[in-house]
Structure 1
Amino acid sequence: MTKTASRFIHPANLPITALSGVGGALAGRLADIGIHRVFDLLMHLPRDYEDRSRRVDIRDVSHGASVLVSGVVTHVENNRTGLSVALEDDTGTLVLRFFKAYAGLKNTMQIGANITAFGEIKISRYGVQMAHPEFHITGTKQFESGLLPIYPATKGLHQNKLRQLVRLAIAAIKPKGLYCLSPADLQAAGVADTGADLLGALIQIHLPDSQADIFTQTALLQGLKERTHPACQRIIIEELVAHQLSFLYRRKNVYQYKAPRCQTDSELADKLIAGLPFGLTNAQKRVIDEAVADMATSRPMLRLIQGDVGAGKTLVAALTACRAIDSGWQVAIMAPTEILAEQHGANFEKWFAPLGVGIGRLLGKQGSKERREMLAAIANNDVQIVVGTHALFQDEVAFAKLGLVIIDEQHRFGVEQRLALTNKGVANSTPHQLAMTATPIPRTLAMSMYGDMDVSVIDELPPNRTPITTVTINRDRRDEVIERISANCKAGKQAYWVCPLVEESSVLDAQSAELLYEDLCERLDIRIGLVHGKMKAAQKQETMAQFKAGEIDLLVATTVIEVGVDVPNASLMVIENAERLGLSQLHQLRGRVGRGSAKSFCVLLYQTPLSPTGIERLNVLRDSTDGFVIAQKDLELRGAGELLGKRQTGDMGYYLADIVRDETLLVAAERIAHQLIEDSARQDLAHQIVSTWLPDAKEYVNA
């Protein structure tokens, strides 16, 4: 970047190479820990602090503490294990240990020398020791004094260098400061006004006051580490407001386009409901009404439907789609996996084909001829409903009149993928968006992930759902479980046996499923099938179709069957190494049974020893069938990354905020963001806040 161009960029948004002494090699090491801009460096907050503000008597040192001591060298021993130096003050003695005895060290460590040293204390049967301390002859120079920050680091990037760079970043930003909230905003959020602006709060964290007395200093350190210090609270509310603003700008960006108005009455929906063997729940009716009201206007619908396992989200989506089809528009349904896309395709075919609606599929497994024909049918409006995976938003896919996009398991897709599909509407318009998730999402997580969407909740299960009994069993009793599987299947029922996995494509997990499959085939006289993420899509589909048709008694699988699979005759679910999976994922897997009239069971096989948290997690699942209760507990125990998946939550990009810990501040941030965006006099401030915290969101801000 040229110096001329950089004049128009706020110092916070300058690349890290704008700082003196930061070349390509150093910038590469900083990039390894997520530091690309000057602002990133300011937000690289300490993980701990070293107290070099006061000398500690040797008798008062404690194991694991990093302390500053002074004393006289009373003994020196040099042998093949290194150099041992006895350092004594008026209160006691400790040993300085050096594993390399170079000439300068031996010249300094002479009996009678007065030494000041800083390092970590180790107390063991060998006495009190300090290994490889920093040191100097007392009075010759000073250590960097005070409370020194300890930063998360990487290879080749030392603490002293990080401290130096942070000070350079502070100096670079000081002349202009940082765009931030006003004292009135902080008061509205219930955050104490420390008298400092955002930059001042950051300085308090990077360069804490070392002149405070020991009690004040202890409280200061605790507040900084636990993020309860007013300076931390100030930074957290600023960050949360920036994220909420980005959601509002994203929504505003979508709202600048018109969406097709759809009629509220639907002859197609009436016919579909009349053909169902059951009625709709009140919750389903309410959510359909909310979506239909959105689609009756020219403002694009942005709605997320949450519902527990078996709540009937797909039917709600289908009845919403009827309004778009009756109004002459096409509907695209996107699912994260081919198994789920095929499941939706089968359901929509069953519901809509008898009503004369054209159904198309766009999947990765299709041959080139079949794909060309389907692309032509979509472009010519020969199919009104198109079901597919991410293949739907590829450039070559052109819809004739796309009016509604339905995205299942929304959290499996990134924002960019969702927007790519909505860009396929007719010229100067955008389709309505209806997202669904079978992972119940706690309110705070929904605010953090889907702040640009309205949320509807199907909080009622159909009356025909069979309760599932969940039991936890030690893997030592695996043989008993295998006998139960055999009896279950020979009685005409079907069962799942799920192997744990971290990633759908993991070779290791596929092998573990294959080994289990081989073992069970040898031990059981029943029909057994195998499905895992490394198999070809056609092979998976064929096995799933056989299982659904009752041609397979026991399906050994990885978590590719987590969502969307509906086999009413399956009444037993066994989950191997259940302690390795998240609560919400376990709940989703459990939801594959209990879909028919037979009493259903879920067996959680666990490996001992279990941690206290592991025991608590499995007990929560055993004792509750409420997906929202389970999801909230999962969020508290394992965090957003485990509940929704690392990939998607990585997009949240928080430096300091934690949506579980900071729930109260998140609610306040949402309110402040609305106030900022609605106040014409503060538009520039709102833009600058988003630009500082979320530079990649500028396309929404400037739209």
Structure 2
Amino acid sequence: MSPDPLLQPLERLLGGRTGQRLNQELGLATVGDLLHHFPRRWIERGELTPIAALPVGEQVTVVARVVSVERRQMHSRRGFIVDVIVSDEAPQDLRDLQDHGGAGSAHRPSGLAMAFFNSYDALRRLQPGQRAMFHGKTALYRGDLTLNNPDFSVLDDAEVPGEEDLSPVPIYPATAKVPSWVLRASIGTVLDALSPPGSAALVDPVPAELLEAASTDGVPLPSLSSAYADIHRPAEVADALRARRRFALQEALVLQGALALRRHAAALPDAVARPAVGHRLLAALDARLPFTLTEGQVSAGAAIAHDLARDRPMSRLLQGEVGSGKTLVALRAMLQVVDAGGQAALVAPTEVLAAQHYRSLTATLGPLAQAGRLDAPDGPATEVVLLTGSLTAAQRRAALLKIASGQAGLVVGTHALFGGTVQFADLALAVVDEQHRFGVDQRESLRRANPGTHLLVMSATPIPRSVAMTVFGDLDLTVLSGLPSGRRPVATHVARMAHGPRIIARVWEVIAEQVAAGHQAFVVCPKIEPAQDGQQSEGPDDGEAPGAGPSGPAEARDRRHDAAVQDMLPRLASIPALRGLRMAGLHGRQDQPTQAETMGRFVAGEVDVLVATTVVEVGVDVPNATVMAVLDADAFGLSTLHQLRGRVGRGTAPAICLLATRLPDGHPALDRLHVLAATQDGLEIARADVQQRGEGDVLGASQHGGSRLKVLRVLQHAELIELAADWITRHVTADGTLDHPPLTEAVTAWEAGHEDTGDYIEKG
């Protein structure tokens, strides 16, 4: 064995052929990689339910043989369903079932029907005669018991526990070329190689005191060596679950350690203190506001002002519901640093939002933004400059000169503001809007490029505390409570187009009624233009928000025929209920002047219906807009839908949001839409979003789906995250190291293994 047994190549232990297959199929190259390929679940005797005894509406686990697999097209929308029939009857009964053409006929053995929506995986891996385990929730469809989109694992006969088997059998994430039983055998070989006397000891990165503190029922969590054995060869499922909890604690500890070290590094440079200065821009703004700041805005502003007055860089997350007034809090902070002689930059994820912020800031400031102009008033003033990629060369040169000279006190733009060609005279504060599109590594790269700059990031997506500690652990958290007066809940309904053409017709009628009453409407589409026959579905372009896509592997489907802006504009104009309404299209592939002109006409009331992509997800404030229809709403995640809904209901009139979907009954994505229809509580929506979509790549650019976390779940393991964060806080030394060397090594190895996370802002 090598000095570190976990780094030993698998080919050395398992042979070249098996090692290469594990690497090619699953990316498992070392002993550690394989041992951390944990089982999805464990089968034990007594757990399996016979098909004839299955209850309705409950989670069940069935081991059965596949009788038939058929693919059929959906009638109500594009896509297909894979119909699978299984049976747990004896082999002769299975032949009888096949001879009768499947389940449902009289006088034949019972089978269980399953439906998989657009599942190429089920079509490829489930074949008649195979034995598999299925896990899901039963339901009734036309009087028959079904399982819709169940989780499944193809088994070999040795994996199914018999009456004489007592130990649970692990079921692994597998592929057709590397089935679960191959993984079981390979892991068994590795465990045997680690266990003989004299083999190299495994160094445990988790301190014993934490294993004790995280104990369950008074039983400490196992050491590293024991945990590997318990999770892969458990005597009972309880041992495996305890080992899984131990590895969740280890992931939480490594993750919190990585964030703590990054936070320490970010605080090393000195910052210039920017204390509030009386009788200048900030005081002048407060004096001209036509309303009183909410208690939440005053409290959040005080915390930020205190940080800006220190000589250590601020790193703070300002979190508040849609419409809570975060931008005004940020503007007051920006004016504080301008009053103190510095510059402030507001970074938006898209050019549309940057232009919106520019117009909003200049309108709010009024004469305070007219510095350098002939009509500038007496008294304090500054200049606001917009810098985006679509400026002409002359406009860009003029903006860059004002930024470099310090003439521009406030600068608004996209992430291009931090490119090498932009030089600030004295950048004191960077404000990043819509934090969910700006990952941990992007924050770190911003800090590296601008050492000593204070950083304020904003998010309109409510975040459960355990998620915030994980995704935003390098930031102090300020929650902006309360909403401005006059905001009303938005009535939200799911429009099920599969239930007949009258459903979508009513959506258009509601829009027409609202416009007739003097209001305006949004129609949101997942795509810009329809795909041609044979083309793949187009993803969002550089101007689109991330998250406009399937929200999880179970829902992956053909998106070629989702609603598209360029297709819907002429179609809407031809609908009798909407005929004669003034319509315009908006999407991120248009040039910035076109986007600005279109949005300007909508704000001015010159457009009745704005047909747009998710470029309107954030920052768009049109109080007269009272209705939004989101077409193919199942294409979006919950947080995106919540943000979109926040574009209406910003005035005093009642507002409505219609989530149109063509999904058939029983599709799992319908649950997500019904969550949004049932609540206005952003925190509850955020919890559901995390549960359905996954925590995401919390240290990289992607922050939804595709998590690199193997067992840690930020909602399920909230107490472990808090335990780890508290321990890390108490054990970070003054020089920015951890006083438990094995953990320091684990954090270093984790960071080194994910160097790809360090690159730049994601699209959108």
Residue pair 1:404, 1:432 contacting (<8 A) in 2 also: yes
- Tell me the amino acid that sits aligned with residue 433 of structure 2: D
Name the SS for the 1:593 alignment partner.
coil
Change (3 A) 1:349 1:93: closer
Aligned to 2:38: 45
Give the drift of 1:200. 1.9
Name the SS for the 2:627 alignment partner.
strand
Give matches, 1:104-503, under 5 Å.
120=131, 149-154=170-175, 156-159=177-180, 162-163=183-184, 165-167=186-188, 170=191, 171=193, 175-191=200-216, 193=219, 196-209=222-235, 220-221=236-237, 224=240, 229-266=241-278, 267-350=280-363, 351=365, 352-354=368-370, 356-425=381-450, 429-475=451-497, 476-500=502-526, 503=539
Give the drift of 1:456. 0.6
- Tell me the amino acid that sits aligned with residue 316 of structure 2: R
- Tell me the amino acid that sits aligned with residue 38 of structure 2: L
Residue pair 2:276, 2:340 contacting (<8 A) in 1 also: no
Question: Please, which moves more after superposition, 520-529 or 262-271?
Answer: 262-271
Change (3 A) 1:511 1:681: closer
Post-superposition Cα deviations, 1:9-37, rounded to whole Å, max 9, x if no partner, equal x44356667766458x9558626534355
Aligned to 1:516: 568
* Count of residues in correspondence between the two structures: 610
Distance in 1 of aligned mates of 2:586 and 2:516:
21
Change (3 A) 1:31 1:404: farther
Post-superposition Cα deviations, 1:177-227, rounded to whole Å, max 9, x if no partner, equal 033223321222234655741132012212334xxxxxxxxxx24764xxx
- Tell me the amino acid that sits aligned with residue 323 of structure 1: Q
Distance in 2 of aligned mates of 1:613 and 1:651:
19
Between structure 1 and structure 2, the one with the greater Rg is 1
Give the drift of 1:397. 2.4
Name the SS for the 1:375 alignment partner.
helix
Q: 1:689 aligns with which of 746, 749, 754?
A: 746
Residue pair 2:440, 2:701 contacting (<8 A) in 1 also: no
Aligned to 1:101: none
Distance in 2 of aligned mates of 1:221 and 1:256:
47
Change (3 A) 1:375 1:33: farther
Post-superposition Cα deviations, 1:148-197, rounded to whole Å, max 9, x if no partner, equal 54432345445565445535655469514033223321222234655741
Distance in 1 of aligned mates of 2:682 and 2:232:
41
Residue pair 1:65, 1:121 contacting (<8 A) in 2 also: yes
Change (3 A) 1:672 1:652: farther
Name the SS for the 1:45 alignment partner.
coil
Aligned to 2:149: none
Residue pair 1:194, 1:231 contacting (<8 A) in 2 also: no
Give the drift of 1:234. 1.2
Change (3 A) 1:410 1:195: closer
Residue pair 1:205, 1:231 contacting (<8 A) in 2 also: yes
Give the drift of 1:434. 0.4
Post-superposition Cα deviations, 1:80-106, rounded to whole Å, max 9, x if no partner, equal xxxxxxxxxxxx987999xxxxxxxxx
Aligned to 1:600: 655
Residue pair 1:308, 1:438 contacting (<8 A) in 2 also: yes
Change (3 A) 1:510 1:148: closer
Distance in 2 of aligned mates of 1:535 and 1:435:
27
Residue pair 1:405, 1:432 contacting (<8 A) in 2 also: yes
Give the drift of 1:562. 0.9
Post-superposition Cα deviations, 1:381-423, rounded to whole Å, max 9, x if no partner, equal 2222221112122223222211111111112022222222222
Give the drift of 1:438. 0.8
In structure 1, stretches of 5+ residues that fail to align are 53-61, 68-91, 98-117, 123-130, 136-143, 210-219
Question: Please, which moves more after superposition, 551-560 or 160-169?
Answer: 160-169
Residue pair 1:582, 1:642 contacting (<8 A) in 2 also: no
- Tell me the amino acid that sits aligned with residue 439 of structure 1: T
- Tell me the amino acid that sits aligned with residue 513 of structure 1: V
Distance in 2 of aligned mates of 1:37 and 1:256:
36
Distance in 1 of aligned mates of 2:61 and 2:492:
46
Change (3 A) 1:289 1:51: closer
Name the SS for the 2:291 alignment partner.
coil
Post-superposition Cα deviations, 1:513-537, rounded to whole Å, max 9, x if no partner, equal 3222211112221110112344444
Decide which structure has greater helix share: 1
Give the drift of 1:299. 1.5
Distance in 2 of aligned mates of 1:644 and 1:491:
48
Aligned to 2:624: 569
- Tell me the amino acid that sits aligned with residue 230 of structure 1: R
Name the SS for the 2:431 alignment partner.
strand
Give the drift of 1:642. 12
Change (3 A) 1:698 1:633: closer
Post-superposition Cα deviations, 1:220-266, rounded to whole Å, max 9, x if no partner, equal 24764xxxx21111111111111111111111111111112011345
Give the drift of 1:45. 0.9
Give the drift of 1:495. 0.8
Question: TM-score, normalised to structure 2's length?
Answer: 0.71
Question: TM-score, normalised to structure 1's length?
Answer: 0.77
In structure 2, stretches of 5+ residues that fail to align are 46-59, 66-89, 96-128, 134-153, 159-164, 371-379, 528-537, 542-547, 549-558, 758-764
Distance in 1 of aligned mates of 2:720 and 2:276:
39
Residue pair 1:631, 1:643 contacting (<8 A) in 2 also: no
Name the SS for the 1:631 alignment partner.
helix
State the identity %: 34
Residue pair 1:311, 1:458 contacting (<8 A) in 2 also: yes
Give the drift of 1:568. 1.7
Give the drift of 1:301. 0.9
- Tell me the amino acid that sits aligned with residue 459 of structure 1: S
Aligned to 1:108: none
Distance in 2 of aligned mates of 1:536 and 1:37:
49
Residue pair 1:46, 1:151 contacting (<8 A) in 2 also: yes
Distance in 2 of aligned mates of 1:93 and 1:439:
54
Distance in 2 of aligned mates of 1:42 and 1:49:
16
Change (3 A) 1:586 1:63: closer
Aligned to 2:151: none
